[in-house]
A and B are shown apart, each in its own frame.
Chain A
Amino acid sequence: DAGVIQSPRHEVTEMGQEVTLRCKPISGHNSLFWYRQTMMRGLELLIYFNNNVPIDDSGMPEDRFSAKMPNASFSTLKIQPSEPRDSAVYFCASGPGGEQFFGPGTRLTVL
C-alpha cells in the first residue's frame, strides 16, 4: 500500500494567487482529514469528511479556504486568494476510524 499521497510536496506562490492541494487517501478508508501545522498553533484540524461528505469544517479559518471530496479516492483543499499567513505545512490523513494515517504533507509558502 502506497499510503496517503499528497501533491505537490512543496508549493511557493505569491500573495493573491489560488493554491490547490491534492490528496489521495488509503483505499478502503472512509474518513479523510485535512490538517495545518504551524509553529504558533501546532497541528490543527481544518475539515474532515466521512464517506465523501463534509462532517465538520469548523476549523476552516476563512471563506478563502474550501475543500472538496468528489469521490472516495481524491480530495482537494483550495485557498483563494492566498495570503502570507497561510504559509504552513498542510497534511492530509485518512482512516477507517480510530487511528489516522498521515500523508507526507505539502509545505506551502506564500510570498
Chain B
Amino acid sequence: DQQVKQNSPSLSVQEGRISILNCDYTNSMFDYFLWYKKYPAEGPTFLISISSIKDKNEDGRFTVFLNKSAKHLSLHIVPSQPGDSAVYFCAAKRIQGAQKLVFGQGTRLTINP
C-alpha cells in the first residue's frame, strides 16, 4: 500500500519557468510533510517542510502548498535553475509518536537551458 504517491516519474521544465511537483497521500493521520532533493551518488537532502496547521510555507525560490481536504501537496520552484535538476522526494509523517518518514517514489526534474 503506497501511502505517499508521486504520480509523475519525471518532469522537464525550461530554465526560468516555474516547476511544480505534486504529491498525494492516503493516510489522514499524517500531519507533517517534507520535500527532499537528491543528486546522483548523494543522499537525499532536506529542502522544505510544512505542518498540517499551515497551507503554505515559503523559503526563497521554494514554496510548498498543502491541501488537506484533497490530501495533496505540491512544491513550486520559481524561477527554475539548471542546478535544480535532481530527483525530488515527498515524505510524510505523524508529528506525535513514531519518527518514521514515508517516502514517495520520487520525481526526476530536468531543467533545460
Binding site for B on A (CB under 8 A): 4, 31, 33, 42-45, 48, 50, 55-56, 91, 93, 95, 97-105
Which of A4, A43, A48, A105 contacts B99 (CB under 8 A)?
A48
Kindly specify which of B42-50, B55-63, B75-83 makes contact with the partner chain: B42-50
User: Can you show 19 pairs from A to B with CB atoms below 8 A apart?
Assistant: A4-B43, A31-B99, A33-B99, A33-B100, A33-B101, A42-B103, A42-B106, A45-B101, A50-B99, A55-B99, A91-B43, A91-B44, A100-B46, A100-B101, A101-B45, A102-B36, A102-B43, A104-B41, A105-B41
**Do A43 and B43 touch across chains, with their CB atoms under 8 A apart?**
no
**Do A99 and B44 touch across chains, with their CB atoms under 8 A apart?**
no
Binding site for A on B (CB under 8 A): 32, 34, 36, 41-46, 49, 89, 95, 98-106
Cβ–Cβ < 8 Å partners of B100 in chain A: 33, 45, 48, 56
**Do A98 and B98 touch across chains, with their CB atoms under 8 A apart?**
no
Least CB distance, A111 to chain B, in whole angstroms? 21
Using a Cβ cutoff of 8 Å, how many contacts connect chains A and B? 51
Least CB distance, B92 to chain A, in whole angstroms? 12
Least CB distance, B35 to chain A, in whole angstroms? 11
Query: Taking A55-B98, A56-B98 as contacts, is the C-beta distance between A98 and B32 under 8 angstroms?
Result: yes
**Do A99 and B99 touch across chains, with their CB atoms under 8 A apart?**
no
Cβ–Cβ < 8 Å partners of B41 in chain A: 104-105
Bound together, the chains give a CA A98 to CA B100 distance in angstroms of: 9
**Do A93 and B43 touch across chains, with their CB atoms under 8 A apart?**
yes
Least CB distance, A87 to chain B, in whole angstroms? 16
Least CB distance, B111 to chain A, in whole angstroms? 22
